[in-house]
Amino acid sequence: MKIKTGDKVVITRGKSRGKTGKVTVALPKEYKIVVGGANLHKKHRKPRREREKGQIVHVPFPIPVGNAKIICPACGKAARIGYKFDEKGEKQRVCKKCDKPIK
């Protein structure tokens, strides 16, 4: 999976289209990511203790990786990701627009 935890992404499809946020959880087996502040669903919580009220909480749900693009830290644009090998022979993620490595 090309998008990892901690990357800044913009959502390209769905009800949260255009929102940006940081990837909080990456789920590679399901090919999904959880972006903070995007794709929020309402979850009803029951009171746990006596005299506590029940409440409605907004929880971010996973979205498919194909519905998000990474924001390149060098050029600041939403871009696709490629791979290149550096001089040490290590594989690096690279922005397809500006051809600079993504850390």
pTM tops 0.85: no
- How big, in percent rounded to 5, are the helix, strand and coil portions of the chain? 5, 45, 50
Whether 9 shows a pLDDT value over 90: the answer reads yes
- Render pLDDT for 47-79 as a digit per residue (tens, 0 to 9): 999 999 999 999 999 999 999 999 999 999 999
Look at the chain and report how many structural domains it folds into: 2
The reply to whether 10 and 20 lie within a common domain is yes
14 token code pair: 């769905």
CB distance 65 to 2 below 8 Å: yes
- pLDDT score of 38: 92
- pLDDT score of 20: 96
Taking the alpha carbons of 60, 32, 19, 92 in that order, is the dihedral positive or negative?
A: positive
Residues in the chain: 103
Angstrom distance (rounded) from CA 10 to CA 6: 13
Whether 103 shows a pLDDT value over 90: the answer reads no
Count other C-beta atoms under 10 Å from residue 90's C-beta.
8
Domain that holds residue 54: 1-71
- Render pLDDT for 78-102 as a digit per residue (tens, 0 to 9): 999 999 999 999 999 999 999 999 9
The reply to whether 84 and 63 lie within a common domain is no
In the block, residue with structure tokens 């022979």: 89
The reply to whether 48 and 19 lie within a common domain is yes
Nearest to residue 66, comparing CAs of 34, 32, 92? Answer: 32
